[in-house]
Amino acid sequence: MISPVAFAADKALLGSLAAGAAALVVAAVAPAGPGVAPGPCKASQTRAVAYAFARAWTRGDLAAVERLVAREPQYRWVSAGPPGGRSGPRAFDRRSLSTFIRTRHAQQESLRLRSFKFNGSDVRAGDGYGHFEFIAYRDANDWPQSLSHTRRGKGAIVCTLVVRPMLAVWSLG
């Protein structure tokens, strides 16, 4: 039989251990402050994937897009504003991405990233994500004259896959 004093001491020790473990989990996934990436993704690998995806989009290189974009469940969405926009359910459907890229390439669309900002890294559902934002120059044969070519966007890569870092999110205004 456990004495009431020993039980109270064990309960206090378990409470301290649980609080310490919770603090470690929070520290591992919480942002460490502006410009600091506490998670597993590096700014350089995040930037490399974003620029490679923009180049593959411009070239209409479907094989490169397939290599660069994560499979489900890590794939979240690829969206773009007009012309030829990709939004709603289509943005979440990875299988329709090749058709979208092929259609935009037929319009001789070009997409050039003009600036890139790494917004840190974190862990979600066991995967490491690197977050970024960008400003791009977008043009195509069907580009409306009234629409600015300068587009803002954001995205994320997943960097803890066995294969290589891959694009999980791309939102282009």
Q: Where are the domains of the chain?
A: 1-30, 43-172
Instruction: Say what the pLDDT of residue 38 is.
Output: 54
Instruction: Say what the pLDDT of residue 82 is.
Output: 95
> Mean pLDDT score of the chain, rounded to an integer?
83
Average pLDDT over residues 103-128: 96
**How much is the pTM?**
0.78
* Percent residues over pLDDT 90 in the chain: 73
Instruction: Say what the pLDDT of residue 163 is.
Output: 84
**Which residues are within 8 A (CB) of 63 and not within 5 positions of it... i.e. 6 or more apart?**
none
Residue 131, pLDDT > 80, answer: yes
Instruction: Say what the pLDDT of residue 157 is.
Output: 98
Class of domain 43-172: alpha beta
Average pLDDT over residues 105-119: 97
CA–CA dist 133, 143 (Å, integer): 23
Instruction: Say what the pLDDT of residue 161 is.
Output: 86
Residue 12, pLDDT > 80, answer: no
* pLDDT: which is higher, 67 or 16: 67
Instruction: Say what the pLDDT of residue 118 is.
Output: 97
Average pLDDT over residues 86-101: 97
